[in-house]
Amino acid sequence: MNLALLFDEDFVAPDRAVLRGRRLAHLQSVIKVTAGDTVPVGRAGGQMGVGEVVRLTDTEAELKVTLDQSPPSPLPLTLVLAMPRPKMFRRILQTCAALGVKDLWLINSYKVEKSFWQTPWLSEEQLRENLTLGLEQAKDTLMPRVQIRKLFKPFVEDELPALLANKQALVAHPGTNTPCPVHLNQPTVLCVGPEGGFTAYEVGKLEEAGCQSVHLGPRILRVETAVPVLVSRLFDACL
């Protein structure tokens, strides 16, 4: 936690916030704060700054908060991700939030197992918690928006074309002819497949919608590795 993300419910006055639970435990056991110390904070959806610890007990830390810095710029990226297996999903969510992805679409694909959609990590509360961990890691305050589409074909035929308007559109697919561009730095929609990859039919549908297939070389990367590699190739903000 390189920044404590503060939500409306944490504020007890316009410039005072009270931390409990995970964030308090981190302040106490990792940062080892004492009264009078300052720690980096940010208001969810707003400015970043510092919080001075004005009261510290076993159950609460009260911070006097000064918020005067903007969070880092969001990536101009819409990431369309085939729903990962639950074991990886949590980490991928945190990574996406840490990289500055603000627009995340979780879609179905032939090789996404039905059971993946049952994971508790998809609950509103768990999505917010894991995205918060990513934002706190990277020092950011802008919560990504997550959209869920459990049917591939209606999404690709009815919604994707509008998402692609005035954007570069890519699907990462091993074995295609075109290398993934570098330093693109433009509004982009990027589709990333499931553990078993998109099927030829699915790649065809994504291409029909306007996506160009690109590769990252001969090494097949796990989704959790492919996402940061793709993002850092496409956007200088990650250099």
Stretch that binds ligand SAM, among 34-42, 92-100, 140-148, 192-200 (CB under 6 A): 192-200
**Nearest residue (CB) to ligand SAM, 71 versus 194:** 194
Query: Both tokens of residue 5?
Result: 């993300």
**Nearest residue (CB) to ligand SAM, 23 versus 205:** 205
Calpha distance 89→179 (Å, rounded): 26
Calpha distance 107→84 (Å, rounded): 9
By CB under 6 A, residue 87 contacts ligand SAM:
no
| Partners of 39 in the β-ladder | 51
Stretch that binds ligand SAM, among 115-123, 131-139, 149-157, 214-222 (CB under 6 A): 214-222
Stretch that binds ligand SAM, among 19-27, 28-36, 60-68, 217-225 (CB under 6 A): 217-225
Calpha distance 157→159 (Å, rounded): 6
Q: 1 Cβ partners below 8 Å, 6+ apart?
A: 23, 26, 30, 133, 136, 137
By CB under 6 A, residue 20 contacts ligand SAM:
no
**Nearest residue (CB) to ligand SAM, 161 versus 196:** 196
By CB under 6 A, residue 84 contacts ligand SAM:
no
Instruction: Kindly list the strands in the beta sheet with 188-192, ordered across the sheet, starting from the edge strand earlier in the chain.
Output: 145-149, 103-107, 77-82, 188-192, 168-172, 212-214
Give the residue carrying structure tokens 């302040």.
Answer: 27
Calpha distance 79→188 (Å, rounded): 8
Q: Which of 88, 184, 216, 237 binds ligand SAM (CB under 6 A)?
A: 216
By CB under 6 A, residue 223 contacts ligand SAM:
yes
Contact 105, 78 (CB under 8 A): yes
By CB under 6 A, residue 184 contacts ligand SAM:
no
**Nearest residue (CB) to ligand SAM, 145 versus 219:** 219
By CB under 6 A, residue 221 contacts ligand SAM:
yes
Residues that bind ligand SAM (CB under 6 A): 172-174, 192-193, 195-198, 215-217, 219-223, 226
